[in-house]
Amino acid sequence: MDPVVTRRDEEGEACECDVSIVVPAYNECESLPHLHQALVGALEALGRPWEIIYCDDGSTDESYERMASFAVDEPRVRVIRFRRNFGQTAAMSAGFDHANGDVIIPIDADLQNDPQDIGRLLERIDEGYDVASGWRVRRRDSLLSVTLPSRVGNWIIGGVTGVKLHDYGCTLTAYRREIVQSFRLYGEMHRFLPAWAASVGATICEVEVNHHARKWGTSKYSVAKAWRVLLDLMTVRFLIAYSTKPLYFFGRLGWRFMMGAGAAWTWTIIKKVKWGEPLYTDPFFLAGVFLGLAGLQIVLIGLLAELNMRTYFESQDKRIYSIRDSIHLE
């Protein structure tokens, strides 16, 4: 077992915490009492210092009141309340930012994830993995409206990012604290956390977890979110590949435009020399002008992006690398 990490809470008091459970919730007042009871039971059985961070994502029911009552009865429970609904990614990000545990595990509030699986995830983290990703092998959701689109999405995400996982949509995943707190999440990007982690060299494994049918409340999943996920996937793919070298992307694209311009001008000159056709009215000449100017502009955009990224890293004292361990560096 990893050593317990001692940190400071908001009042500056020393606090010991090994495992932080992050629970984003939106209008889940009926399931929350059952979830809390199951979480406390599962965590107490582990024999590790723990905390639970509930994040109320602007609920319009009594979810916050339920969370507040848990905090009154149990000092290891902390609650965050948003002013409005910002989405699951924002709720998870807030929980990550305020977590003290050496291992952070988000879990859905609808009780479809099983708190008893937390111990199995921690076992793999103790083996040395940085991320233990949950895999809902037997899903209890609608096949056509949820399960099938999810499988297609997992296949696409794995192909684009190069990180092959069976279940990117499973919230129940264990992360080492330094992994999740090194990223800022936007849009629907919480589902791409394993890909982000892999981009900095994190070791990832999959753990089969249970999945239960929803008993209370209504699902927040919508096929319409797929479009937002695809757009976020494009962003993630670009940032993973070119976040520290955007000029490589724009420069390569601009060079191809310029090559097209060169080919068009070459053909125009051949036509002029061989058949005496005029240059300036030739459509290939005009196409070459367009491609050349477009290529130059794309390269200039790449230069500006390069300057912006360097300003971003240097102004925030960020590093373009990630250290796993060190010896005698302090």
Rounded-to-integer distance, Cα 223 and Cα 141, Å: 13
Bridge pairing between strands 77-81 and 50-56:
parallel
Closest of 66, 2, 79, 68 to residue 34, by C-alpha: 66
CA distance 4 to 6: 6
Question: pLDDT truncated to tens, each residue of the chain (330 aa)?
Answer: 343 334 444 444 445 789 999 999 999 999 999 999 999 999 999 999 999 999 999 999 999 999 999 999 899 999 999 999 988 889 999 999 999 999 999 999 988 899 999 999 999 999 999 999 998 888 877 666 667 777 887 788 888 888 888 888 888 999 999 888 777 777 777 888 888 888 888 899 999 999 888 887 666 666 566 667 777 777 777 777 777 788 888 888 999 999 999 999 899 888 888 887 777 778 888 898 999 999 999 999 988 888 887 787 677 666 666 666 667 575
What is the rounded distance in angstroms from the CA atom of residue 189 to the CA atom of residue 182? 14
Note the Cα 294 to chain centre separation in Å.
33
pLDDT score for 6: 40
β-pair partners for 259 = none
Both structure tokens of 93: 């990000």
Phi, psi (rounded to 5 degrees) for 309: -65, -40
Distance from C-alpha of 106 to C-alpha of 85, rounded to nearest angstrom: 18
Instruction: Give residue 232's pLDDT.
Output: 74
User: What radius of gyration, in Å, describes the C-alpha atoms of the chain?
Assistant: 25
User: What was the pLDDT predicted at 221?
Assistant: 61
Which of 221, 225, 176, 172 lies closest to 196, judged by CA?
A: 176
pLDDT for the residue numbered 309: 77
pLDDT computed for residue 8 by the predictor: 44
